[in-house]
Amino acid sequence: MVRIVNYSRIVTFSAILFSLQTLVVIVADSLFTSDVDAARNFHGFLIEKICVGIVVFLVFMKLARTQVTQLYFHVLLIIILQELIGIALLRTIGSTDTSSPLWLVDWVVLAISALLGTEVGRRLRVSSHRNTGSRA
């Protein structure tokens, strides 16, 4: 089996994914974080995770509609690269704490959203190729 890896697509999607996730977290934290209201913090946390999940879903759905070969290998490399980008930026600004007490929630949201988005995008690509008579 020939491995065809589109490195520019991996870097592009990693940067897009990282940027959009960061934007969602910044906006959600600024809107919903409160020092006095724990319920508001919890609701903000849920809204943030839902919005991040939607963003991840959409990014990987777009990838799956355009990437034909080695799709899940590309998904894995994109996730790894975007995590490395985040760690590198945290280290650059001097943060020594790169772990979150809720890291498991972040990873579950990322994994489920990436898998669902990839599968939906792949199915949309396959069905559109069937409808036009092209091969997937």
Query: What was the pLDDT predicted at 136?
Result: 46
Query: What was the pLDDT predicted at 103?
Result: 80
**pLDDT, tens only, 92-117:** 887 766 566 778 899 999 999 999 99
Between CA 131 and CA 123 the distance in angstroms is 12
- Is residue 78's pLDDT more than 80? yes
Query: What was the pLDDT predicted at 94?
Result: 78
- Is residue 123's pLDDT more than 50? yes
**pLDDT, tens only, 27-64:** 988 887 766 677 677 888 899 999 999 999 999 999 99
Between CA 74 and CA 4 the distance in angstroms is 10
Q: What is the model's pTM?
A: 0.85
Percent of all residues in the chain with a pLDDT value above 70, rounded to a whole number: 88
The mean per-residue pLDDT over the stretch 1-29 comes to: 90
Query: What was the pLDDT predicted at 2?
Result: 58
For the chain, which residues make up each domain, given as ranges? 7-132
- Is residue 133's pLDDT more than 90? no
Q: What do you get for the CA distance between the two ends of the chain, in Å?
A: 17
The mean per-residue pLDDT over the stretch 13-22 comes to: 96
Helices (H), 33-135: 38-66, 71-92, 103-132
Closest CA to 13 of 98, 82, 104, 89: 82
The mean per-residue pLDDT over the stretch 59-72 comes to: 94
